[in-house]
Structure 1
Amino acid sequence: MPITLPTTTVDALPFAAACFSILYGLYALFAPGTFLRMAKLQPIGERRVGLSEIRGSLAGLPLGVGLATLFFYDQPFTQMALGAGWLFVAFGRLVSILSDDASTFGNWLWLLVNLIVAGACLAPVFGLVPA
């Protein structure tokens, strides 16, 4: 099966979002300690089982769905799955900003990044990008 690259904006947006998701997932998978420090978090005490949550949830899902979208970037279902995932990441971040006293520049910046990635996947599905 030959690998094709996107040739239109409609295909390039979900492809780019998939690449971002894969890089995000790989970073969380192979550098969970650095990933936590970037988020201003750290494992508590000697037990480092929290890293498995980073590798499992925060790395696995974006990596898996990102790979599926990368290979099937022209399929609306994979675009919707990845876009919905990032949209709900943004929603969770917004809830945290509003209710957890977490209104920092970094959180607002990540909210914007999450919305851009979600939009890159969902805009083609809903016909918001001209062909």
Structure 2
Amino acid sequence: MEFYFPSEFGEQMAFVAAAVSAIIGLFIMFAPGVTFRLFGLQLMTDRRDGLVLLRSSLGGFYLGFGASALLLAQPMVYLAFGASFALAVFGAILSILSDGGATVRNCLLLVVHFVLAALPLMYVFGLF
């Protein structure tokens, strides 16, 4: 089986967004303590439920969706990938505006999600 790397520039950008998502997912899965510190959160010493939630929901989503987009490399998969991150952008904007969460960390995460949403969506809709 041969590794597929796209030849069109737009698809390469969507591919890179999926690869970045998968790398972030790997980091979250295998370094949840560091991820908690990066988000400014702390674990309670007697309860470790947060690690399960972080690894399965967040790490699994980033890694699973990114790897699926890399392996399948189809426009509809890129559409679903971009739409999911676009909804994450909407949630971040909603939280920043309604919860008063306009911190540097949240704004940086908003930008990362925006880029991860924009690259595949621009490819799918022919803007590249």
Q: Same fold (TM over 0.5)?
A: yes
* C-alpha contact (below 8 Å) 1:65/1:81 kept by paired residues: no
Q: Is the aligned partner of 1:5 residue 2:5?
A: yes
State the alpha-carbon separation in 1 of the partners of residues 49 and 106 from structure 2.
25
State the alpha-carbon separation in 2 of the partners of residues 105 and 19 from structure 1.
24
The more displaced of 87-96 and 1-10 is 1-10
State the alpha-carbon separation in 2 of the partners of residues 80 and 42 from structure 1.
35
Match of 1:79 in 2: 78
Displacement after TM superposition at 1:48 (Å): 0.8
Equivalenced residue count is 128
* C-alpha contact (below 8 Å) 1:10/1:124 kept by paired residues: yes
In the TM superposition, 1:1-131 aligns within 5 A as 1-73=1-73, 75-129=74-128
The more displaced of 115-124 and 39-48 is 39-48
Displacement after TM superposition at 1:115 (Å): 0.6
Displacement after TM superposition at 1:45 (Å): 3.8
The Cα RMSD (Å) is: 1.1
State the alpha-carbon separation in 2 of the partners of residues 47 and 41 from structure 1.
14
Displacement after TM superposition at 1:126 (Å): 0.8
The more displaced of 3-12 and 20-29 is 3-12
Q: Kindly provide the amino acid, as one letter, of the partner of residue 61 in structure 2.
A: L
Q: Kindly provide the amino acid, as one letter, of the partner of residue 44 in structure 2.
A: I
Greater helix share, structure number: 2
Moved over 6 A (4+): none
State the alpha-carbon separation in 2 of the partners of residues 37 and 3 from structure 1.
35
State the alpha-carbon separation in 2 of the partners of residues 113 and 13 from structure 1.
14
TM-score, normalisation: structure 2: 0.94
State the alpha-carbon separation in 1 of the partners of residues 21 and 92 from structure 2.
17
Displacement after TM superposition at 1:72 (Å): 2.1
State the alpha-carbon separation in 2 of the partners of residues 71 and 45 from structure 1.
39
Percent identity, aligned pairs only, is 39
